[in-house]
Amino acid sequence: MELRILAAPAEQQALLDLPWDMPLEEWPEWYLVALPRGISRHVVRFTRLNGRVYALKEVVESFAVREYQLLRDLERLGVPAVEAVGIVRGRQEPGGAPLESVLVTRHLQFSLPYRALFARMMRRDTVERLIDALVALLVRLHLLGFFWGDCSLSNTLFRRDAGAFAAYLVDAETGELHRSLSDGQRRHDIENARVNIAGELMDLQAGGRMDDTIDPTAMPDLVVDRYESLWQELTGWEAFDVNDRWRIARRVERLNELGFDVAELDIVTDIGGRTVRVQPKVVDPGHHSRRLIRLTGIDAQENQARRLLNDLDAYAARTEQQGEDEEIVAYHWVTDAYEPVLRAIPRDLRAKLTGPEIYHEVLEHRWYLSEQAGREVGIVEAARAYVDNVLRHKPDEDAVLEGPPTQPDLPVVVADELGAT
């Protein structure tokens, strides 16, 4: 048996102790953790070691190796995806019968499969936000030359992102990395996404877990529309009169608003010099996250970062620091607004959400309280109210478990999506 792991030494030791000489399906309960697994054609199990959760997928060796390498490549490219930890090959049962390899990935903290994103019923706006998140991920992958091959809600994990969702790729099994993608490849990916999402929504409906007003066969058309418009925005040629050069700046701004930095622009004037054509050449997602981390050191997702930066701007206006050096203002905002809010959260409730998400929710809650009270409620007061009225009642999301809300470390019986245990 060969264990190729990229884990830290503590992780390695813990991974070595797992019962590799048994088929994954037969692993005893006490090794496992129940997580909503999504629909998979392979055997997938989760295990918790030293407080971190790992996903284990049993596949033939060539597939495990290939997917492992792809996930590593995606990590290097900065794509939001699960992290590859290692492969276990050459497994055998005690009698010598060979067992398939296992791909080990680290579960993304605070990420959720789509089926866990709603308590009882999936609502229309949730579906739309999920589609938006998936489209944003798909566009990003396509820009990098990555062909997914099986884009679906089940192959994605979602993190809350200030009212929206950020999508992370989970299954790279059918993926391919090319220098760039042909139109046919991109269209194939979108069509797959459309059909898969329709099937997943139909399944939710069949299980009685979706709002009746949603038409699962029509909703996924949104995927195509939103993809096309985002793709056009990011890569399309735009032509205008040479006197309207402000439009170039406007194009860049629009891309920034969408969360992309423009690293290169192609600007071409025609022979007469009358028309200018502009096409973004290199676009990097994460415009707001980068700006936030540069100014404050806070690591947040794109939409969260946008929210926090807006709050920073509002703070600057309120405290009349608008003319000041932005780094100084940012520093003051962190010490006067951000940190006090996080300090107001009791330690035992910190596992519920990430810091930036909590801050965003406190901002929302403050708006709501201010409306109710008819006056401007202070941020720390809002934070305390938020803790009591909202946060206490939320489930822990650092690793979502199925079953009753007990301490996270208590193992729960594995729940297979298809009903088998």
Partner 1 sequence: MATVTYDSATRIYPGTEKPAVDSLDLEVGDGEFVVLVGPSGSGKSTALRMLAGLEDVDGGSIHIGERDVTNIPPKDRDIAMVFQNYALYPHMSVADNMGFALKIAGVKKDEIARRVQDAAKLLELENFLARKPKALSGGQRQRVAMGRAIVREPQVFLMDEPLSNLDAKLRVSTRTQIASLQRRLGITTVYVTHDQIEAMTMGDRVCVLNDGMLQQVDTPLSLYDKPANVFVAGFIGSPAMNIATFKVSDGKANLGNAHLPLARATVDAVTAEGSDQVVLGFRPESLEPAPQEAGGAIPVIVDVVEELGSDAYLYGEAVGPAATDPDAALANRTIIARVEPRHEPQKGEKVYLRIKQGGEHCFSVKTGERLPS
* Cβ distance to partner 1 smaller for residue 198 or 295: 198
Residue type, 346: P
Q: Do 102 and 23 contact (CB within 8 A), yes or no?
A: no
> Binding residue for partner 1 (CB under 8 A) from 174, 235, 319, 321?
174
* Cβ distance to partner 1 smaller for residue 10 or 413: 413
Is position 412 an interface residue for partner 1 (rule: CB under 8 A)?
no
* Cβ distance to partner 1 smaller for residue 215 or 327: 215
> Binding residue for partner 1 (CB under 8 A) from 119, 249, 271, 420?
420
Is position 37 an interface residue for partner 1 (rule: CB under 8 A)?
no
Identify which range of 243-251, 366-374, 404-412, 413-421 contacts partner 1 by CB under 8 A. 413-421
Number of residues that bind partner 1 (CB under 8 A): 41
* Cβ distance to partner 1 smaller for residue 96 or 272: 96
Please, which residues bridge with residue 83 across strands? 106
30: tokens are 């006490």
**String of contacts with partner 1 for each residue 203-232, x by CB under 8 A:** xx-xx---------x--x------------
What SS3 string covers 77-102?
CCCCECEEEEEEECCECCCCCECCEE
> Binding residue for partner 1 (CB under 8 A) from 36, 52, 118, 199?
199
Q: Do 315 and 337 contact (CB within 8 A), yes or no?
A: yes
Is position 137 an interface residue for partner 1 (rule: CB under 8 A)?
no
Is position 39 an interface residue for partner 1 (rule: CB under 8 A)?
yes
Q: How far does Cα 52 stand from its chain's mean position? A: 18
Identify which range of 69-77, 173-181, 238-246, 329-337 contacts partner 1 by CB under 8 A. 173-181
Is position 322 an interface residue for partner 1 (rule: CB under 8 A)?
no
CA distance 83 to 304: 22
Is position 188 an interface residue for partner 1 (rule: CB under 8 A)?
yes
Question: Which one-letter DSSP state was computed for residue 163?
Answer: T
* Cβ distance to partner 1 smaller for residue 57 or 365: 57
Cβ-defined contacts of 174-178 (< 8 Å, 24+): 174/148, 174/149, 174/150, 175/67, 175/70, 175/146, 175/147, 175/148, 175/149, 176/146, 176/147, 176/149, 177/70, 177/73, 177/74, 177/144, 177/145, 177/146, 177/147, 178/145, 178/146, 178/147
**3-state SS assignment for residue 231:** helix
| Region of 62 on the Ramachandran plot (φ > 0 left; ψ -120 to 50 alpha; else beta) | alpha
> Binding residue for partner 1 (CB under 8 A) from 52, 89, 123, 187?
187
**Contact residues for partner 1 (CB under 8 A)?**
39-41, 59-60, 62-63, 100, 149-150, 152, 154, 173-174, 179-180, 182-185, 187-188, 191-192, 194-196, 198-200, 202-204, 206-207, 217, 220, 417-420
